[in-house]
Structure 1
């Protein structure tokens, strides 16, 4: 599948910025069943300083905010070819050893709620894949998808206790629970083409678990499926903080307003339009 992405992030400042630096993880990974055919980034109010691949092999760009600007606008446009691997992204590669994905982080540290969740799963723990599917279903049943009820600092324990959250919270709970059973887990940030909805308010997040014999396998708790060709993997990490698309500081900015515009659509080539009309896809409703 060919997917087109336009992603605009706008930061508006109430005061003049004296100094600022942002770290951008916005370019999709050219691995694991996807190929980046085109990708361009435009900056307004900022300039590039450096770029590198971090410890999770996320392409990272550092940009500095130009002093005195009222806003910074980052616009990415690209085309990515994806395939459906039934959620399997393959064996582990990269700089981080698998044991790093077993450690608890502030956002995924398990407490009583997560421990009770794991204890309630009746599936055979010896069958890792089956247990993880049962875990995903249980989280979806216990934590309602409600946008605006949590923020990036919400922990897995807090979201589980509240019984509501968004894709980031579903993924963090799933990761927290899996690590209790010594299953390597990681967070994935990216894009999702939702059926019948091109314009979106945010990117998407899900989790991957390392399953012996298969390697990394994705689980989208919010949509109750393993990721398919409608998903674009952009960044991975031990939790959201290591895969966040934009992080940084702005000195003297006063109040900061964030606006995000995102569109993800399929690029139709030749007779593909007729094929799409004749076949449907599973509805995807939750993107952030």
Structure 2
């Protein structure tokens, strides 16, 4: 499947900023089932862009802009060719061992309610079956989990609130999986779901299954990711895989708007 992405992030500041430093996790990497055909990151002001790789193996771009800056627009456009892999990740860069992804973070720490939910849902005969059961159970509990900007909620807080975005429910899956001693990680990327536009990138999770490797699970659908997904960045939680993170030097408030379109251009060519 050929997928086109147009992702525009608009920052506005109530007072001019002296300097802006951002880490952009906005570039997908090639795997056996995902090929980047074209990709471009643009900025509407004078800025230095430096490409690198972070500790998780994600492609990153460091952005350095000197002020005064009243606003900045970051534009990402590209096309990616994907193929069906039933959620299995093949030939991805893996600098860290699976055991690393059993490490809990403040945002993915399961409280008693979430851990009990995971234990009750996942009673399969093997690890793969248990992860599918956890994925299905979260989908049933949160049948509508849209892509939305990050509120900073932890997995436990979102679980208790009974209202969740795709990033919240992905963190719930991760917290539940780790409570069952299964390595799991957060994934940020794009999904072509037929919607005209999105207010944030899509989020899902991956769990490591011995003998198979990393497998994707999307509690938003209750299924594993298919060829309509573009995988961009992984991390221990939403913060570690955030599309844009950094710092600014200056006073005042920051306003953020996202305009995101993900379109299918057709099958493999």
Superposition TM-score, scaled by structure 1 size:
0.87
Question: Quick one: structure 1 residues 135 and 25, their matched pair in 2 at CA, closer, same or farther if it must change by over 3 Å?
Answer: same
- Supply the RMSD in Å over aligned alpha carbons: 2.1
Q: Taking structure 1 as reference, are residues 269 and 130 closer, same or farther at Cα in structure 2, changes over 3 Å only?
A: closer
Matches within 5 A, 1:131-142: 131-142=130-141
The separation in 2 between residues aligned to 1:61 and 1:239, in whole angstroms, is 20
Worse-superposed segment, 34-43 or 136-145: 136-145
CA distance in 1, matches of 2:255, 2:230: 27
d(CA) in 2 for partners of 1:49, 1:246: 14
Give the whole-Å Cα distance in 2 for the aligned partners of 1:250 and 1:75: 19
2:136–2:223: 8 Å Cα contact kept in structure 1? no
Distance (whole Å) between structure 1 residues aligned to residue 116 and residue 267 of structure 2 = 49
Query: Offset at 1:148?
Result: 9.1
Match of 1:36 in 2: 36
Q: Is 1:108–1:156's contact at 8 Å kept on the other side of the alignment?
A: yes
Contact 1:90/1:214, CA 8 A, preserved across alignment: no
Question: Does structure 1 conserve the Cα–Cα contact (< 8 Å) formed by 2:12 and 2:70?
Answer: yes
Q: Which residue does 1:199 correspond to in 2?
A: 197
Q: Does 1:243 align with 2:227?
A: no
SS at match of 1:18: strand
List alignment gaps of at least 5 residues for structure 2.
none
Partner SS state of residue 169, structure 1? helix
Q: d(CA) in 2 for partners of 1:68 and 1:2?
A: 40
Aligned pair in 2 of structure 1 residues 134, 46: CA closer, same or farther (>3 Å)?
Answer: farther
Is the Cα contact below 8 Å between 2:56 and 2:95 reproduced in 1?
yes
Structure 1 residues 113 and 92, CA, compared in 2 at 3 Å: closer, same or farther? farther
Q: Which moved more, 1:82-91 or 1:19-28?
A: 82-91
Match of 1:275 in 2: none
Q: CA deviation at 1:182?
A: 1.5
Contact 1:167 1:205 in 2 (8 A): yes
Alignment of 1:56-135 (within 5 A): 56-90=56-90, 93-121=93-121, 123-124=123-124, 126-135=125-134
Structure 1 position 252 matched with structure 2 position 246: no
1:171 aligns with 2:170: yes
**CA deviation after TM superposition for structure 1 residue 144, in Å:** 5.0
Q: 2:229 aligns with which of 213, 228, 231?
A: 231
Q: How far off is 1:32 after superposition?
A: 4.2
* Displacement after TM superposition at 1:266 (Å): 1.5
* C-alpha contact 2:3 2:81 (8 A) present in aligned 1: yes
Q: Report the Cα offset of residue 78 of structure 1.
A: 0.6
CA distance in 1, matches of 2:116, 2:44: 48
Distance 1:183 1:101 in 2: 8
Q: Number of paired residues?
A: 269
Gaps of 5+ in 1: 273-288
Aligned partners of 2:112 and 2:267: how far apart in 1? 51
Task: Provide the TM-score with structure 2 as the length reference.
Answer: 0.93
TM-superposed CA distance for 1:104, in Å, is 0.4
